[in-house]
Structure 1
């Protein structure tokens, strides 16, 4: 393993792949986003001191409200939860790192790229101002605002797309890790509740964010390529609402579940007993995770959906509250039956519970169709939404104080911590409760009835008190770093999980002996050949507890054939930089396609900056991905671990399957959009766009044949037949090239007739859907070329054929998608 740079150097933080370092980076970035989003909130709360124009004009007000919502929901709360997941989950399950450390680093750097790209949008003529829900048609340039502001709004869309890419990589990593890297003896039922909350969070993320990605791909095509998904009156508003809220309602639980896990951990620790009804709590969380995808239309009661469907959604909304009732009562009974210690973390967690109960009760009103007709679009929704979402933030602050001694190695001042909580709880309620009383105020405007002025002024005062509470949190933590006493390994008397059994802060490789629960309690065993009987390196209380064990030097073989893991790679940050530059350039290409659509638009309006950035981004991406692929990076899998239910699926293969599951949702959403819009227009009124059916049939045979050649490539690799492997891969790439050639001919035929992707809705649907599939073919061919290069240069995959198998899985998936697209677009 190459030597790591000094931790005090910038290079260290650029190259580190260690899960604890990545967690710290997530913490710092998410809290910085909190500050920016909070300042925006204070600005528009000042605007609301009185009704009508004031500090901000109409556009600035709408822009700041939109940016506040997008920053807080997407780029603050979820990433802060992932920060805890990054740092704590591997420690809790006994893993030295996540399954794919470099992908973990890449996930963070893509997130940072999304944050920076969002910030850049304010300097490109203006950021997105169509509301954080980005409803159609307000999300397209025609209705969104002045055309000179298009580039900045485009950057916001692509920033969100970059963030979704970050989330997808992170979910694959977490799911593989939790399912295959648990310490011996730690079954799924015995996992800590915080780890359970992260596991269910990332499962929801995998599918919910895939739906959002599909929506953003369509929106990005509308904004840059000038397609017509959301710019028509043919059901586009309803389509966006379905796609967004299929993501948006699970997102509420994605945001809240890490907070819920923190509440469980802190209630256990500071009440001195396990959560009452622990297994029923886990079952309840699973039920909520599943049901979260079945209630999205309760956000759409004011649309033209028929009453029977709305009633069904009302019933599922009431149903999803029942598991939450069980979890709330479990927390209350745990506290009542325990010996409560009113520490700073517990106060924040208890406050979060109280606030969430208020948010949940007020949400029941919105779940009733009749009441929703009255409350929708008012400040009742604003108040309810913040009581739910920001109660989650309150619990995240509890987690920050709870694990601060472990992360920093320093204790904090309880006096300062409790003072911050007092300001937090008072400021929160002073800010948001008056909104219930001023519920008749319409959302996203600064005009309200004169009789509501007092309530808005109270809310504005509360906003500044609430902001002060976060300043006090930062002061408390800074004071701790500078003057706080050193933290013991376990500062809490009744802590129950394994992270408290390692030093504070943990070393680079957290567990130098292998953690095991085989005896029913946490032990550290030495698996080195010199150990006489695999002796215990010290034990702790069952389920975590306090550990008196000092963990000595490295234990070779504890986590694989070679314990020395690599912890540094520069290529993740380079890949993220390539994506950032590419999306920055892509956001400025709208004038290029405007000039193509309308000859009267001069090409001089296009310029060279944004096209150059797009090309530069692609070049950086190509080089960085290639270097990433050839880099020698050692991240051994745990030799002994609990892996149910995936004992027989190798970690990389499981990661590929999980990624493909996400891609299924992306294509499902895009194909579903085609079916939805065609049904809305009238299925029989829609003529096929392709020039003829035979090119589609030919391409079907081509791709099916390529699936056979991929199988042959795997057989040749297993037989260590280099020549056969080269021929099979070469045949696959040739067939892929033929497919793209036929597709290019189809497009050219339509172009010759003057039928482009912006000609009409059915053309947009055809070009975008088949173009997305063609992009997958191109990406597959790039992977195939890389495999071919590795075989030629170093005889790769003859000893380890797994990469060829993983490539085959992806290629077969792409072929299956085409088998679905062919009849939809060519035969029906």
Structure 2
């Protein structure tokens, strides 16, 4: 047996038992990954919650308390970052990982190993952020990281740089997850599971990941630029005369406002599912509900400047964004009324999941109404930077999370097979709801308190003390939740397959917890009844039948199915292959990324400091990069059988194979990344003065090197085309030669670029006698960083081409040229980007 086959046997189809630590380190099954996400997110809830309680203790009286000023700023900043990034969205995606494949009739997500990788990148990014506390202190400039407070002059600790790199790693996790979910939900739905029939929770996740794909790419651009300013000494956000502070605000809030809906949409999906289940009534106006969500997802990218009314943007632009803010509130009105009318038309059962979902609706309405004040330019002048914003923000964001706790209770029986204690669940809700309002509502009354400051007027002491009491009651409510769930997991009563009388989505037709591969065969959603075909001649109904043209009732009527009906055919006839569920390499890649970025955090002005500390960080960087390269190769070489598909509607990607769609989605995200870099260059140049920009550039920066590189890359793209033709014609040596030519031309591009840079670094005489370095001025910063990002893409492409050459030498790709095609898509994209960079940085 070959080593590769042995590897597949060791890490493939069989999973260690759930009681084994190894199981959780190597699993790629979507249900296991969902549990890992959920448990880890709850840990970060506790982490961020403890920091919040420290803040509330400090605010018991105005003035400095047991925390020093810098420590308080670190607690405020870390609390915001942990809750926004490491708790809110990952908590929702714990449910998404577990439930969405079940709801759409998939055996797993399209790329199981990428799913596991997204989790490990998420976990190690959180660990990296935790390490930042031990490197002189973490970031202390607020969770929005406004410039210029985000540069080393004001936040000099190494830990602050580590916090930024932790966010970079987190965004990598989000990108991997977004590509995977979009491919799965568009290409892996079961037969008959059209978008129109898809359950509302899955709809909210689909729209959420579309927003994540583009919004987080903009954040990644901002973080990479900030990392460069902190580690390499570039001058983007230090260039206040060229609009550096305003540039950060644009980049951050282009991400930041869609992030509100990225957090809230999954909670909205939980509310819809639980309202349907516990009223026995399908959501009123379902198609309009979906249309409103689509409209909000689209509009979310055109309202970001309402966070910037206090900046120097002109009044006409502010008025335009005030109008878009009002516009995006209208679809939410429709969704809120649909939920309320569903309650009116149905018969409510006040279970714990319903109480949390209903509480979320109440809190969100308060948050939405108070947000209207901030959407008006004049009122925003008064409220911005006060505790009115803090209260509104938490009523929206934490209000949404309230529904996610309802989702935790709702799906806990499905995940564990055990039923939680209903009485303790209601105690949790009572403490939670009282504590929440006691904590945040007084902030509206004490709104003149300056945000992120522990000094406030004496008149507000009683209100802040009330908030502090509310904070501890809210914290105590989670002790009840953890006790309830842990006790129920150990000694709780068996939940059965479906503990809810009116649940109508597919996961409730499966055992609790579901089997490893979800279904005994291939499910379809073609009939009007939910049933399972166990053999060629018979069916077994689940007990849920659609009403014949009528509406279901809450008192014994039959609920209609949200998503159609399902039956499952024979596994031997329909499935066709065994799937793997384990791989050690996602964990290894996450660990290697953690080590490498921890090493990078020690960079200062482009180099490691002398001494033991510098050697430690340099060693971590080198070792981490080597480990990362090795683990990536092992992942690529591993034999892994993933789920097959599609079996049903794949609109609008019917003719796009899964891996190709994944590549296209990644490149779509990369378009936003490069667009943000190019937009940043244009923004700073316009702010500085378009023609005055030339005064910042030495005469030695000539066109010829860029022109040569343009010819090299265009020729390399032609070579990739030749490689694909050779693979299609089954010409082994033609394939190897063409890929080799692509590699050689890419290396020539990098050599030419390196020679150009070395020449510019070593200038003598004139205004740039010390050389034109990345830290010289803002023009050099934009040139080196933007073309450097492109160069990193070229380097990544060269490593891929080397891998392809090695495999092609052994005869690979002659019977399946698709890997060469996918590499070509990436390489052509890199070349197209250069066609934009060349005129911008060499001619204009």
TM-score by length of 2: 0.94
Return the offset for 1:517: 1.2
Q: What residue is the counterpart of 2:715 in the other structure?
A: 705
Do the aligned partners of 2:525 and 2:566 also contact (CA within 8 Å) in 1? no
Give the corresponding residue for 1:600. none
Cα displacement string for residues 547-589 of structure 1 (whole angstroms, at most 9, x for unaligned residues): 999989x712434x31x10000000001111110000000011
* 1:764 maps to which of 755, 769, 781: 781
Of 568, 572, 575, the residue aligned with 1:556 is: 572
The answer as to whether partners of 1:501 and 1:545 remain within 8 angstroms in 2 is no
Which runs of 5 or more residues in structure 1 are unaligned? 596-602
Match of 2:164 in 1: 157
Give the aligned partner of residue 295 of structure 2.
Answer: 287
Q: Distance in 2 between matches of 1:591 and 1:514?
A: 57
- Correspondence for 1:781: 798
Q: Does 1:521 align with 2:553?
A: no
1:9 match: 20
* Cα deviation, residue 482, structure 1: 1.9
Mean Cα deviation higher: 318-327 or 474-483: 474-483
Sort the Cα spacing of 1:594 and 1:506 in 2 relative to 1 into closer, same or farther, 3 A.
closer
1:123 aligns with 2:131: no
Secondary structure of the residue that 2:357 maps to in structure 1? helix
Whole-Å separation in 1 of the counterparts to 2:359 and 2:438? 14
Tell me the distance in 2 between the aligned counterparts of 1:53 and 1:284.
Answer: 47
Question: The residue matched to 2:523 in structure 1 has which SS?
Answer: strand
2:647 is aligned to 640
1:568 aligns with 2:582: yes
Instruction: Provide Cα deviations, 1:142-196, integer angstroms capped at 9, x if missing partner.
Output: 122xx4x2x1111100000000000000000000000011111111011000000
User: What per-residue deviation string (whole Å, max 9, x for no partner) do you get for residues 744-789 of structure 1?
Assistant: 1110110111111001110000000000000000000000001111
Task: Give me the whole-angstrom Cα distance separating, in 2, the residues matched to 1:50 and 1:211.
Answer: 40
State yes or no: 1:820 paired with 2:824: no
Q: Rate the CA distance shift 1:298–1:15 in 2: closer, same or farther, 3 A.
A: same
Alpha-carbon distance in 2 for matches of 1:523, 1:204: 35
Measured after TM superposition, the shift of residue 790 of structure 1 is 1.0
Aligned position for 1:133: 144
CA deviations over 1:379-414 (Å, ceiling 9, x no partner) = 000000000000111000000000110001001111
Matched residue, 1:48: 59
Give the structure 2 partner of residue 718 of structure 1. 728
Query: Contact (CA 8 Å) 2:198, 2:563: kept in 1 or not?
Result: no
Shift of 1:675: 0.3
Q: How far apart in 1 are the matches of 2:119 and 2:443? A: 36
Matches within 5 A, 1:742-753: 742-753=752-763
Matched ranges for 1:435-584 at <5 A: 435-525=443-533, 532=536, 536=539, 538=541, 540-542=544-546, 544=561, 555-559=571-575, 561-562=576-577, 564-584=578-598
Instruction: Report the Cα offset of residue 623 of structure 1.
Output: 0.6
- Answering whether residue 354 of structure 2 is matched by residue 346 of structure 1, we say yes
State how far apart, in whole Å, the 2-side matches of 1:432 and 1:763 are: 47
Is the Cα contact below 8 Å between 1:208 and 1:251 reproduced in 2? yes
CA distance in 1, matches of 2:530, 2:738: 50
1:305 aligned to 313, 324, 330, which one? 313
Deviation at 1:2, TM superposition (A): 4.0
Answering whether residue 256 of structure 2 is matched by residue 256 of structure 1, we say: no
1:598 matched residue in structure 2: none
The 3-state SS of whatever aligns with 2:572 is coil
Residue number among 619, 640, 661 corresponding to 2:668 in the alignment: 661
Question: Does the CA contact (< 8 Å) of 1:558 and 1:638 recur in 2?
Answer: no
Please say if residues 697 and 822 of structure 1, whose CA atoms lie closer than 8 Å, have aligned partners that are also in contact.
yes
> Of the candidates 176, 180, 192, which is equivalent to residue 169 of structure 1?
176
CA distance in 2, matches of 1:471, 1:209: 33
In structure 1, the partner of 2:8 is none
- Alpha-carbon distance change, 297 to 547 in structure 1, aligned in 2, over 3 angstroms: closer
Q: State the alpha-carbon separation in 2 of the partners of residues 208 and 105 from structure 1.
A: 22
Q: Tell me the residue number matched to 1:22.
A: 33
Distance between the aligned counterparts of 1:442 and 1:366, measured in 2?
16
Runs of 4+ residues over 6 Å off in structure 1:
545-552
Q: Tell me, in whole angstroms, the C-alpha distance in 2 between the residues paired with 1:593 and 1:616.
A: 17
Q: CA deviation at 1:525?
A: 4.2
- The offset of 1:637, in angstroms, is 1.3
Distance 2:345 2:120 in 1: 44
Question: Matched residues in 1 for 2:204 and 2:331: separation?
Answer: 14
> How many residue pairs end up in the alignment?
808
SS across alignment from 2:196:
helix
* Cα distance in structure 1, aligned partners of 2:51 and 2:58: 11
Contact 2:596/2:625, CA 8 A, preserved across alignment? yes
Q: Give, in whole Å, the separation in 2 of the partners of 1:173 and 1:421.
A: 34
Q: Which residue among 816, 839, 842 is the counterpart of 1:800?
A: 816
Provide the C-alpha distance between the structure 2 equivalents of 1:696 and 1:536, rounded to a whole number of angstroms: 68
476 and 555 in structure 1: CA distance in 2 versus 1, 3 angstrom threshold: same
Q: Work out whether 1:72 is the aligned partner of 2:83.
A: yes
CA distance in 2, matches of 1:739, 1:434: 61
8 Å contact 2:608–2:618 — kept in the other structure? no
Alignment partners' CA distance in 2, 1:93 and 1:225: 46
- The match for 2:617 among 610, 617, 634 is 610
CA distance in 2, matches of 1:270, 1:355: 19
Alignment partner of 1:626 is 2:633: yes
Partners of 2:153 and 2:757 in 1: CA distance? 27
Q: Structure 1 CA distance, aligned partners of 2:737 and 2:541?
A: 56
CA change 1:190–1:2 in 2 (3 A) is closer
Tell me the equivalent position of 1:142. Answer: 153
What is the CA deviation profile of residues 34-84 of structure 1, one whole-angstrom value per residue up to 9, with x for unaligned ones? Answer: 001000000110000000011111011000000000000011001001111
Q: Give the deviation of 1:522 after TM superposition.
A: 3.4
- Whether the 8 Å contact between 1:185 and 1:642 is mirrored in structure 2 is yes
Output the CA distance in 2 between the equivalents of 1:796 and 1:334.
Answer: 57
Alignment of 1:728 with 2:745, yes or no, is no
Aligned counterparts of 2:485 and 2:454: Cα–Cα separation in 1: 36
| Aligned residue in 1 for 2:748 | 738
**CA deviation profile, 1:248-300 (whole Å, cap 9, x unmatched):** 00000000000000000000000101000000000000000000000000000
